[in-house]
């Protein structure tokens, strides 16, 4: 039972050196005990889940019935502001952070959508999952769609758009569970808009459920005992589970067949030693065009001089042509932001330029990242799509850190508006961004070492990757510092 290290010769698939033996440590028994507690206290977890569901539904629906907060109100005396802070100042940024720290424990233990979906699926019609649901492009398409739409309706600023987006997602999760799967989370596995992001970020988690396939195969049911059964709600093939990206960390499989244990691991392990064996193009697309493109555009456009200049240029051209309706026409709030009493209205021109800006950011990021990674792959030798997708995984730390820092801008803004001193924030941002860049660089160095046949090729491949990481770091840094 141990981790098999790939050869450093670059020939993935040749016989590796003897596996490194895993040696237990005192901390391993503590971590395993946590896994045992989770398995033995599923009822308590259910109560926690329903408490979260109640809080979620209350904060999602009640603010819609209240007037928009007046100036001078604070999060401790206004439910709408409190809901905004909980959802966008705490929930989203720190759920993303939790993926890196403890894997997808949020999904398996706390997520209200997952809890509702699994509960409803107990009475499901049990239809087999159709092919269109299992389309591998959903994680990217759903993430991009919700991100762009959220910016169009100003989901971070107003409760009604939050109800539309989050409520629609919850209703879709319930509807999916009515028809497909029984006691399963079909929605979470295939259709959840953030499942793809959670999947890539959880690859960095230092905790996972380790599977000893030898113990699994050698296990025999004790005479007279009932057959063991584990309901893996997210439909993970337990015996062949190699990483943490699909596991919801619910703890139900702890100790199953004497082969599954909650354990620690290197945060680099899954990307270096697992991702290369299971190349997933949709994850590459999500990283380079989704997290580094669309998500970055969502944070940048509000303060972008390029966005303002393009909109001004188009407006002047339209006026010169005698066309004025795109500059004055607005749409309902659930299509484009429309709150005239708050002096916050998007016209058709605003919405069109916004979509174009985010699409341009996605295209630019995709082209720059793809070209850099392709140059690195060619520097290693003949073209290999597996190597290309494997190298793309090294961008996860910098991409994830940037999205976390972007979301945490809402946290910082709300706290400052409520009188909290946040002088430590700039240094913390710089430290996190620099650390994430170094982490991605180290992952790239290790992955290149698996494929490079010479030191010269390794350094030649490292050059375009290093330039790409500098670009990513500068792109996120420009959110906070002008240069």
Q: How confident is the model at residue 9 (pLDDT cuts 50, 70, 90)?
A: very low
Higher pLDDT, 13 or 133: 133
pLDDT reported for residue 330: 93
Predicted confidence (pLDDT) at residue 199 exceeds the cutoff of 70: yes
Predicted confidence (pLDDT) at residue 220 exceeds the cutoff of 90: no
Q: What is the mean pLDDT of residues 345-360?
A: 96
The pLDDT tens digits for 359-408 are: 999 999 999 999 999 999 999 999 999 999 999 999 999 999 999 999 99
Q: What is the DSSP letter of 347?
A: B
Predicted confidence (pLDDT) at residue 81 exceeds the cutoff of 70: yes
Q: How confident is the model at residue 419 (pLDDT cuts 50, 70, 90)?
A: confident
pLDDT reported for residue 24: 61
Predicted confidence (pLDDT) at residue 345 exceeds the cutoff of 80: yes
Share of the chain above pLDDT 90, in %: 83
The per-residue pLDDT of the chain, averaged, comes to: 91
Predicted confidence (pLDDT) at residue 12 exceeds the cutoff of 50: no
Kindly provide the residue ranges of all beta strands, DSSP E only, lying in 154-277, ordered along the sequence: 207-211, 260-264
pLDDT reported for residue 69: 86
* Residue 389 and residue 284 in contact, taking contact as beta carbons nearer than 8 Å: yes
Dist. CA 294–CA 357, nearest whole Å? 9
pLDDT reported for residue 1: 40
Predicted confidence (pLDDT) at residue 78 exceeds the cutoff of 60: yes
pLDDT reported for residue 272: 95
Q: How confident is the model at residue 483 (pLDDT cuts 50, 70, 90)?
A: low
* Residue 12 and residue 276 in contact, taking contact as beta carbons nearer than 8 Å: yes
Dist. CA 298–CA 128, nearest whole Å? 37
CA neighbours within 13 Å on the CB side: how many for 189? 20
Q: Give the angle subtended at the CA of 117 by the CAs of 282 and 286, to the nearest 5°.
A: 15
How many CB atoms lie under 10 A from the CB of residue 95? Answer: 21
Q: Token pair 């005396």 is at which residue?
A: 77
| Least reliable range by pLDDT among 33-47, 100-114, 225-239 | 225-239
Closest CA to 213 of 53, 24, 4, 30: 4
The domain ranges of the chain are 28-201, 278-477
pTM: 0.91
Share of the chain above pLDDT 70, in %: 95
| Least reliable range by pLDDT among 71-85, 192-206, 222-236, 363-377 | 222-236
The pLDDT tens digits for 104-139 are: 999 999 999 999 999 999 999 989 999 999 999 999
Q: How confident is the model at residue 56 (pLDDT cuts 50, 70, 90)?
A: very high
Predicted confidence (pLDDT) at residue 16 exceeds the cutoff of 70: no
Q: What is the mean pLDDT of residues 59-63?
A: 95
Q: What is the DSSP string of 171-186?
A: HHHHHHHHHB-SSS-H
pLDDT reported for residue 229: 85
Dist. CA 365–CA 450, nearest whole Å? 26
Closest CA to 216 of 266, 170, 154, 259: 259
Dist. CA 267–CA 275, nearest whole Å? 13
Q: Give the angle subtended at the CA of 278 by the CAs of 272 and 284, to the nearest 5°.
A: 80
pLDDT reported for residue 401: 97
Q: How confident is the model at residue 23 (pLDDT cuts 50, 70, 90)?
A: low
Dist. CA 461–CA 445, nearest whole Å? 9
| Least reliable range by pLDDT among 16-30, 70-84, 397-411, 419-433 | 16-30
pLDDT reported for residue 126: 84
């Amino acid at each position: 039972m141990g981790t098999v290290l790939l050869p450093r010769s670059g020939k993935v698939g040749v016989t590796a050196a003897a596996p490194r033996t895993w040696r237990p440590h005192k901390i391993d028994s503590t971590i395993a005990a946590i896994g045992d507690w989770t398995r033995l206290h599923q009822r308590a977890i259910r109560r926690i889940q329903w408490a979260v569901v109640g809080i979620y539904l209350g904060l999602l629906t009640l603010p819609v019935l209240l007037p928009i907060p007046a100036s001078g109100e604070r999060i401790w005396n206004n439910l709408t502001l409190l809901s905004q802070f909980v959802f966008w100042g705490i929930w989203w940024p720190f759920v993303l952070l939790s993926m890196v720290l403890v894997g997808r424990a949020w999904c398996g233990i706390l997520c209200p959508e997952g809890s509702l979906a699994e509960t409803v699926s107990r009475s499901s019609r049990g239809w087999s999952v159709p092919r269109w649901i299992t389309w591998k492009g959903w994680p990217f398409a759903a993430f991009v769609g919700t991100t762009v739409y959220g910016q169009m309706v100003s989901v971070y600023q107003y409760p009604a758009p939050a109800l539309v987006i989050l409520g629609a997602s919850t209703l879709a999760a319930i509807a999916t569970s009515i028809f497909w799967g029984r006691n399963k989370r079909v929605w979470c596995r295939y259709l959840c808009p953030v499942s793809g992001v959670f999947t890539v970020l959880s690859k960095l988690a230092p905790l996972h459920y380790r599977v000893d396939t030898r113990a699994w195969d050698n296990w025999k049911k004790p005479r007279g005992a009932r057959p063991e059964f584990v309901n893996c709600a997210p439909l993970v093939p337990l015996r062949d589970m190699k990483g943490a990206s699909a596991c919801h960390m619910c703890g139900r499989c702890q100790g199953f067949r004497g082969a599954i244990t909650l354990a620690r691991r290197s945060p680099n392990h899954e990307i270096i030693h697992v991702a290369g064996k299971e190349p997933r193009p949709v994850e590459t697309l999500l990283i380079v065009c989704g997290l580094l493109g669309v998500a970055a555009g969502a944070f940048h456009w509000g303060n972008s001089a390029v966005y303002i200049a393009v909109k001004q240029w188009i407006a002047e051209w339209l006026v010169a042509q005698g066309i004025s309706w795109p500059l004055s026409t607005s749409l309902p709030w659930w299509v484009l932001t429309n709150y005239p009493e708050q002096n916050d209205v998007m016209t058709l021109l605003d919405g069109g330029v916004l979509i174009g800006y985010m699409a341009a950011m996605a295209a630019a990021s995709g082209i720059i990242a793809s070209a850099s990674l392709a140059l690195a792959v060619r520097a290693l030798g003949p073209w290999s799509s597996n190597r290309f997708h494997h190298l793309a995984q090294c961008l996860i730390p910098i991409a994830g850190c940037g999205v976390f820092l972007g979301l945490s801008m809402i946290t910082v803004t709300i706290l400052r508006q409520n009188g909290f001193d946040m002088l430590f924030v700039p240094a913390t941002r710089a430290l996190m961004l620099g650390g994430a860049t170094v982490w991605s660089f180290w992952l790239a160095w290790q992955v290149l070492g698996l494929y490079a046949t010479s030191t010269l090729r390794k350094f030649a491949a490292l050059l375009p990757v290093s330039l790409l990481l500098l670009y990513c770091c500068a792109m996120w840094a420009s959110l906070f510092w002008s240069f």
